[in-house]
Amino acid sequence: MTAIAYPFLRPGPDRISAGPWLVTRDGEPCVFADGHLDHFDYSTNLEAVRHFEVDVEGVAADTGLRADEIKLLCVVTFGTGGRRLQRARRIVTREVIQAGREAIVLALAIEGREVSELFVLTTEIILLSSGTVRRRVSPVTTGARLWRDEFRAAVEPLGARFPMEAMSFATVFPTGHGDALWYLDWSPQTLHHDFATSVRLLINLDRPAFVEAVQQADEVTLRMLMCSVTTQMVRSAIDLDHFPLDQTEASPSSVSAVIEAWVEQAFPGQSAEAVRTLAQHDPSRFELAIGSLFAGELGNE
Amino acid sequence: MSEFRLMPRLDNHGVRRLISLPDLLRTGSISERMEAAGTSVSYASSGGSRADAADLKVLQEQIVALAKRFGFPNEGRAAGRASFDAECAQWLVEAPIISGGEALRDDVWAFVACCIAPEVVLWRFEDGHADRFHGGLRNTFQRLWLRARSLDRGAGAPQRWQLVEALSEDAVVQIVERPSIGADPTLACAIAEAWLATAARIGASRMEDVTRRAVRRIRIDNEITCLASLGEPELVRRLEAFFDKAAL
């Protein structure tokens, strides 16, 4: 998340008392396990409610404005589509807050067919009008963002961390490679794509002993496999000038983010450039570090 | 309420598999391409009815018919392809087949580009770059849907699609393909209206640099100011000021 330096005073967090979003489906409260809502589909319609209270006098004191003049707007923005940056966003609720009207209830309906992958409810306190300004750094511009919080809910099951598929290499690679054990199907050119849908480990069905070892989650087999896969991906990524991708471009579930996490785990605190140098000048240590990462993790998925 | 249509989805692995088979993209059928994609094709497990073979065939025929009006498969100049973009964009938003949450999914548009109308992709973008098939902002059809969704003045509005037709490609990229502003049609439309007014005043030839400067400032300002929350007159005034300043 990029930190924003606001060029105006903002209220302290204790000036806003925001209750949790209560999300219901057919009148029953929804449970979000790790931010994920189970059994959601396009026919699911939700209701969301939260209680919200603003200490207008405190906000005015913190921002150098007059409590009897300041007028605030509470807006809720509904966003959906895409894992990190939403593809669709619109303001769904607006409530004016001012002295004498400090406690409100925010309520909105979420139509299932409009939701894609996740939904985000962003609540913000916006300056509607400042009235008399007492300090040079007081917010004066209508629309100034004074406070925000975000409720994020994924509605799709998260896929296996390492998608695998068994297939006959004699069929997939008719011109050769039929004896290979596995093949990692991915491209270093698509680091910004979602890991779960763009990386796939193909296991050769024509090598039944290997297939069985993988299916039985044989620890040594899986560890060696994972080690080779990780080494390949890390080595390819660190050779790219644009790795790791800017956080504003890559989602946490992107190929880049997954590789970056491996790099951080295997080479804590080292830059991609330092890891690249190590891979070039001391490949044994490089592979040793990566080889220490896994302990049959594929078998747990 | 009509039942929601669930579109097939194609993961990135399937996209790569299909674009490695150019003959299949040029001459294959939808079912042949789906078969080649294998397990990379999936659907939402519930929540509507799956688009069946007849639905997909209709979608294909309509896209191809539209492209034919602009020279597909053998002809078509740059200007014609730009016109195809504008018409196809409007049609995709108005077409009932891909809508709601399904239209926001990259893998749905990857399926459209790779299995429904890859021959149109290869006509529209002769280099056949992989990004034109993968889901995302560069996908041949998704980019059009996104621009029409963002720049739609609304059903019943006079000259509903004028912004889609009038904005330059560069302006569309600057406005629609920036999630912080393009995802909110209210804001995106207002910026596009300001672009149109400025272009009429200073001439389209100056607009590329002006747009880039203005949009950069708008994006920065939008981080600290909730532009979408402003009423229309205030929003228009604020956005025009950004363009005016950028045009100095």
Check CB contact under 8 Å for A42 and B230.
no
Mean pLDDT computed over B179-185: 92
Mean pLDDT computed over A64-73: 95
The pLDDT score that the predictor gives to residue A218 is 82
Residues B170-179 pLDDT 10s: 999 999 988 8
A203-to-A181, A259, A298, B85 alpha-carbon distances in Å:
6, 21, 13, 42
- Is the model's pLDDT at B12 over the cut of 60? yes
Closest CB from A89, A116, A189 relative to B105: A116
The pLDDT score that the predictor gives to residue A1 is 43
- CB A152 within 8 Å of CB A118: yes
- CB B9 within 8 Å of CB A197: no
Rounded Cα distance between B144 and A156, Å, is 26
**One-letter amino acid of B180:** S
- Is the model's pLDDT at B139 over the cut of 50? yes
In which residue are the tokens 């005043």 written? B201
Rounded Cα distance between B238 and B178, Å, is 19
Extents of the domains making up chain A? 13-154, 164-300
Check CB contact under 8 Å for B179 and A42.
no
Residues A85-133 pLDDT 10s: 788 999 999 999 999 889 999 999 999 999 998 999 999 999 999 988 8
| Residue A254: DSSP 8-state | B
Instruction: Supply the DSSP string of chain B, one letter for each residue.
Output: -PPPEEPPEE-HHHHHHHHT-HHHHHH--HHHHHHHHGGGEE--SSSSEE--HHHHHHHHHHHHHHHHTTTTTT---HHHHHHHHHHHHHHHHH-SSS-GGGGG-HHHHHHIIIIISHHHHHHHSTT--GGGTSSSTTSTTHHHHHHHHHH---TT-TTTTHHHHHS-HHHHHHHHT-HHHHT-HHHHHHHHHHHHHHHHHH-GGGHHHHHHHHHHHHHHHHHHB-GGGS-HHHHHHHHHHHHHHHH-
- Is the model's pLDDT at A18 over the cut of 90? yes
Element (H, E) at A238: helix A219-238
Sign of torsion over alpha carbons B201, B207, B213, B218: positive
Check CB contact under 8 Å for A89 and B146.
no
Shortest distance between the Cα of B13 and any Cα of chain A, in A, equals 5
In which residue are the tokens 């191809």 written? B64
* β-pair partners for A22: A49
Chain A residues in contact with B225 by the CB 8 A cut-off are 141, 143-145
Instruction: Answer whether B97 touches A (CB < 8 Å).
Output: no
Neighbours of A135 (CB within 10 A): 11
Closest CA to B143 of B153, B131, B154: B131
The pLDDT score that the predictor gives to residue A269 is 85
CA angle A232, A238, A242 (to 5 degrees): 130
Shortest distance between the Cα of B115 and any Cα of chain A, in A, equals 17
Chain A residues in contact with B96 by the CB 8 A cut-off are none
Choose the CATH number for A13-154 among 2.60.420, 1.10.3470, 2.30.30, 2.60.40.
2.60.40
Closest CB from A75, A116, A189 relative to B104: A116
Shortest distance between the Cα of A270 and any Cα of chain B, in A, equals 31
Higher-confidence residue: A190 or A47?
A47
Higher-confidence residue: A246 or A107?
A107
- CB B13 within 8 Å of CB A197: yes
- Is the model's pLDDT at A252 over the cut of 70? no
- Is the model's pLDDT at A300 over the cut of 50? no
**Which band of pLDDT confidence, cut at 50, 70 and 90, is reported for residue A157?**
low
Please, what's the b/e burial string for B105-127 (b: 16 or more CB within 10 A of its CB; e: otherwise)?
Answer: bbbbbbbbbbbbbbbbbbbbeee
Shortest distance between the Cα of B47 and any Cα of chain A, in A, equals 5
- Is the model's pLDDT at A77 over the cut of 90? yes
Which residues numbered 117-136 in A keep a CB inside 8 Å of some CB on B? 117, 124, 126
Helix axes A272-281, A283-291, angle to 10 degrees: 120
Instruction: Answer whether B179 touches A (CB < 8 Å).
Output: yes
**Which band of pLDDT confidence, cut at 50, 70 and 90, is reported for residue A161?**
low
* β-pair partners for A282: none
Residues A189-241 pLDDT 10s: 888 887 877 888 889 999 999 999 888 878 888 888 989 999 999 999 998 88
**Mutation target vs A (from B224, B230, B237, B239; most A CBs, 10 A cutoff):** B224
- Range with the poorest average pLDDT among A239-253, A258-272, B183-197: A239-253
Per the prediction, chain A carries an average pLDDT of 87
Chain B residues in contact with A82 by the CB 8 A cut-off are 104, 106, 179
Check CB contact under 8 Å for B224 and A94.
no
Shortest distance between the Cα of B64 and any Cα of chain A, in A, equals 27
Q: What is the percent of chain B where pLDDT is above 70?
A: 99
**Mutation target vs A (from B137, B178, B229, B239; most A CBs, 10 A cutoff):** B229
Closest CA to A153 of A251, A264, A35: A35
Neighbours of A120 (CB within 10 A): 17
Check CB contact under 8 Å for A6 and B224.
yes
Closest CB from B39, B100, B130 relative to A42: B100
A30-to-A35, A63, A81, A114, A275 alpha-carbon distances in Å:
11, 37, 20, 18, 45
Per the prediction, chain B carries an average pLDDT of 93
Element (H, E) at A78: strand A71-80
Which residues numbered 141-160 in A keep a CB inside 8 Å of some CB on B? 141-145
Return phi, psi of residue A24, to 5°.
Answer: -125, 150
Closest CA to B162 of B197, B214, B187, B213: B197
- Is the model's pLDDT at B161 over the cut of 90? yes
**Mutation target vs B (from A41, A94, A187; most B CBs, 10 A cutoff):** A41
The pLDDT score that the predictor gives to residue A299 is 43
Check CB contact under 8 Å for A94 and B229.
yes
Chain A residues in contact with B223 by the CB 8 A cut-off are 4, 145
Check CB contact under 8 Å for B104 and A88.
yes
Check CB contact under 8 Å for B225 and A194.
no
Shortest distance between the Cα of A174 and any Cα of chain B, in A, equals 14
The pLDDT score that the predictor gives to residue A248 is 57
Residues B43-75 pLDDT 10s: 988 888 999 999 999 999 999 999 999 999 887
Chain A residues in contact with B16 by the CB 8 A cut-off are 185, 187, 198
Closest CA to B4 of B48, B59, B51, B55: B48
| Residue of chain A whose Cα is closest to the Cα of B13 | A198
Rounded Cα distance between A147 and A249, Å, is 25
**A114, two tokens:** 């409009």
Check CB contact under 8 Å for A185 and B13.
yes
3-class state of residue A26 by DSSP: coil
Closest CA to B88 of B110, B68, B108: B68
Shortest distance between the Cα of A281 and any Cα of chain B, in A, equals 33
The pLDDT score that the predictor gives to residue A254 is 80
Closest CA to A255 of A186, A201, A203, A158: A186
**Which band of pLDDT confidence, cut at 50, 70 and 90, is reported for residue A301?**
very low
Is the omega angle on the peptide bond into residue A29 within 30 degrees of 0, that is, cis?
no
Chain A residues in contact with B13 by the CB 8 A cut-off are 163, 185, 197-200
The pLDDT score that the predictor gives to residue A296 is 39
The pLDDT score that the predictor gives to residue A219 is 82
Instruction: Answer whether A95 touches B (CB < 8 Å).
Output: no
| Residue of chain B whose Cα is closest to the Cα of A83 | B105
